[in-house]
Structure 1
Amino acid sequence: MNEVTDQNNVQGLVRQALKVEHRPGDHSTRIPGLTLHLRNNPTDPLHCIYTLSLAVVLQGEKQISYGNQTFSCTEGQLTLTTFDLPVVSHVTHATRHKPFIGLVLKLDYNLILQVCSELKLNKPAGDIAYKSISVENLDDGLTDALKRLLNLQHETRFVDSLLPLLEKEIIIRLMESPHGPQLRYLASDGSPGSQILKVVAWLKQNFTQSIAMDDLAGRANMSGSAFRQHFKSLTGTSPLQYLKTLRLQEARDQMLMNRLDASQASSLVGYESASQFSREYSRLFGLPPSKDVQQLRRLL
């Protein structure tokens, strides 16, 4: 097992991140799939969907909840998300003089499969406690790889040639870290995790359709009861609620980014009843659509 990273190594990443951007907000970088997140104050809990990714807290602290589980992630820790999950996330420690700083890197499922094959990694033991979200201390190897990844921000001529190598190195180092069993479980052919992941990928492309739960179970080659059980254990929610969350999150994004009104957004994501959309939206996000979007715009 790799050693936990030295605090000076993390501070080196902090300095690099602040050279990229120092203003509060969510920032894209010149590196595809890498985003930088800064906050000067604690934030209110926000419903969102975490994708297959790693997230590193360089400074401050945040809290993540899904299902009946809650995680605290503090500086020098790496969070691995192996499923697209509806979560509630918020920054719990941040000040103007010591802002929250986080890095998020999206991961490629096919690259994970490739690395598992090349390293000839077996499926983890059957008694592994699989976690859709795992939090572990960052180690020196991953810290150094992330430093080199951030350096590409200032050497964009090397992005096309070096980024694939760095992404592969990061996956390999994750495999050798305490996160490794979670990735190996995800990549195991025929495991419940891989079957549910295929269904989730299909749902993300087809969530506006009318979908029968038995059809989803069939896509996973499971009985209805087994499908619901595995789905909830992996995502923290039922298939029906997951589908609703996908629709409502997409509607929220459309209202926020494309300035659609609630009626337009609800129809776009497959709702036939505007009143039902408003009720379910308020239940999930805590406010009616128009008030929620107004609040989000003030935060951005």
Structure 2
Amino acid sequence: MSDTMLEQQLLRLVENIAPDEGLNSTAIPSVFCYKISAPLFEMPAVYEPCLCIIIQGRKSVMLGKEMLSYGKMEFLVASVDLPIIGTVVEASEQQPYFVVQININASLLSEVMLKMEKLAVAKRKAKSGLFIGQVDPQMAASLQRLLSLLQTPEDIPVLAENVIGEMHYRMLRSNYGNDIAQISLQDTPTQRIALAIQKLRRDFDQTVAIDELAKMAGMSVSSFHVHFKAVTKMSPLQFQKSVRLVEARALMISQRMDAASTAYKVGYESPSQFSREYARMFGNPPARDIASIRL
């Protein structure tokens, strides 16, 4: 099958799988499809470890102060939890933005690595937790098998695990495979920073001491700062602040909480400080920002 035919088949499959605007869940719990029919303004979110493949359209993502862009038949891998500002830049009613998201299973990644002829090599320095690359014909064919499986639900209990494992294998065979593998290799700087990130993500509403995080990662405070910024492009305090603000926005949208109550719930001691930092990140104070979203 030619590359063009495969791309057309993937588009037909995802159009069927994602008929609704926004998030479309699938019968495989770790697989999601998004459909966006118009360019979006900046939407901060916290990505969990995942592989995202754009079938149609283009998106830009900002991690810290680093801006990346990817489009049709390109992939993004977030190897750790990361607060990201995403913007869909190419989408229309006629040609919606379609992306397939597959959550990364660290245990499955380790299992696949052990079966590979060429084992990943542990690195002494951490690198960015965000990667963008080109979908090769092999990864595209694996994705086609995964999306086709969703057309035959009776096959999912038997075959889904193998096909998801195949997608993990394709990630490891990509140009960034060795960097992605660092999250599953024991005692690499990336794997140890990932543990600290999980704590910050889990306890975002609490005060967490940097020396406690450094101790958890088995590093000195200075070394911890260097490796943490390499992975996330921000300091631990900036990371926690970004997570707090994203969680706050979600609470005000989904639970209609007011700004002051939300500020205290996500860990701020001062609603005024919360409003200032919220406006700095989202462009408007909380009430105005949420009102514009609802409109």
Q: What residue in structure 1 maps to residue 131 of structure 2? A: 134
Contact 2:113 2:120 in 1 (8 A): no
How many angstroms apart in 2 are the aligned matches of 1:135 and 1:53?
12
Of 174, 179, 182, which aligns to 1:185? 182
Asked if structure 2 preserves the Cα contact closer than 8 Å seen for 1:57 and 1:76, the reply is yes
The residue that corresponds to 2:141 in the other structure is 144
The answer to whether the 8 Å contact 2:58/2:91 transfers is yes
SS at match of 2:131: strand
Q: Which amino acid aligns with 2:254?
A: M
1:127 deviation in Å? Answer: 8.5
What TM-score comes out, normalization by structure 1 length?
A: 0.90
- Matched residue type, 2:187: G
Q: 1:121 offset after TM fit, Å?
A: 5.0
Structure 1 residues 263 and 121, CA, compared in 2 at 3 Å: closer, same or farther? farther
Q: 1:129 to 1:140 in 2, by over 3 A?
A: farther
- Give the match's secondary structure for 2:85: strand
Picking from 164, 168, 173, the partner of 1:167 is 164
Q: Deviations over 1:182-238 (max 9, x none)?
A: 222222211110000011112222222221111111111111111111101110110
Q: 3-state DSSP class of the match of 2:174?
A: coil
Q: Which moved more, 1:148-157 or 1:274-283?
A: 148-157
> 1:137-175 deviations in whole A, cap 9, x for unaligned?
112222222222223333223333322111111111211
Matched residue pairs, number? 294
Task: Name the CA distance, whole Å, in 1 between partners of 2:276 and 2:200.
Answer: 22
Q: Is the 8 A contact 1:31 1:152 kept in 2?
A: no
Runs of 5+ unmatched residues, structure 2: none
**Percent same amino acid at aligned positions?**
30
* Aligned residue type for 2:51: L
Q: Which amino acid aligns with 1:181?
A: N
1:289 aligns with 2:286: yes
Distance in 2 separating the partners of 1:126 and 1:201:
21
User: Does the 8 Å CA contact 2:23/2:32 hold for their aligned counterparts?
Assistant: yes
What is the Cα deviation at residue 106 of structure 1?
1.0
Equivalent of 1:7 in 1, 4, 22: 4
* Bigger mean CA offset, 220-229 vs 42-51: 42-51
User: Contact 2:149–2:155 at 8 Å: present in 1 too?
Assistant: yes
Aligned to 2:102: 105
Cα deviation for residue 107 of structure 1 reads 0.9
Q: Is residue 213 from structure 1 mapped to residue 199 from structure 2 by the alignment?
A: no
Which residue of the partner structure matches residue 248 of structure 1?
A: 245
In structure 2, what is the Cα distance between the partners aligned to 1:295 and 1:153? 36
How far apart are the structure 1 equivalents of 2:186 and 2:180?
12
Structure-1 separation of matches of 2:154 and 2:237: 46
Match of 1:186, SS state, is coil
**In 1, distance between residues paired with 2:135 and 2:102?**
14
Q: What SS does the corresponding residue of 1:91 show, helix, strand or coil?
A: strand
- Give the deviation of 1:26 after TM superposition: 2.5
Post-superposition offset of 1:41: 2.0
Distance change >3 Å, CA 232–CA 129, structure 1 → 2:
closer
SS at match of 2:183: helix
Deviating more after overlay: 193-202 vs 76-85: 76-85
Q: Structure 1 CA distance, aligned partners of 2:118 and 2:62? A: 31
- Aligned partners of 1:266 and 1:274 also within 8 Å: yes
Mapped contact 1:121–1:184 kept (Cα < 8 A): no
Alpha-carbon distance between aligned partners in 1 of 2:61 and 2:19, rounded to the nearest angstrom? 24
User: 1:223 & 1:125 partners in 2: Cα distance?
Assistant: 20
Cα distance change on mapping 1:161 and 1:202 into 2, 3 Å: farther
CA separation in 2, counterparts of 1:98 and 1:262? 37
SS in 2 for 1:270: coil
CA distance in 2, matches of 1:157, 1:224: 52
Residue 273 of structure 1: how far off its partner (Å):
1.5
Q: Spell out the pairing of 1:5-44 with structure 2 (5 A cutoff).
A: 6-44=3-41
Q: Over aligned residues, Cα RMSD in angstroms?
A: 2.1
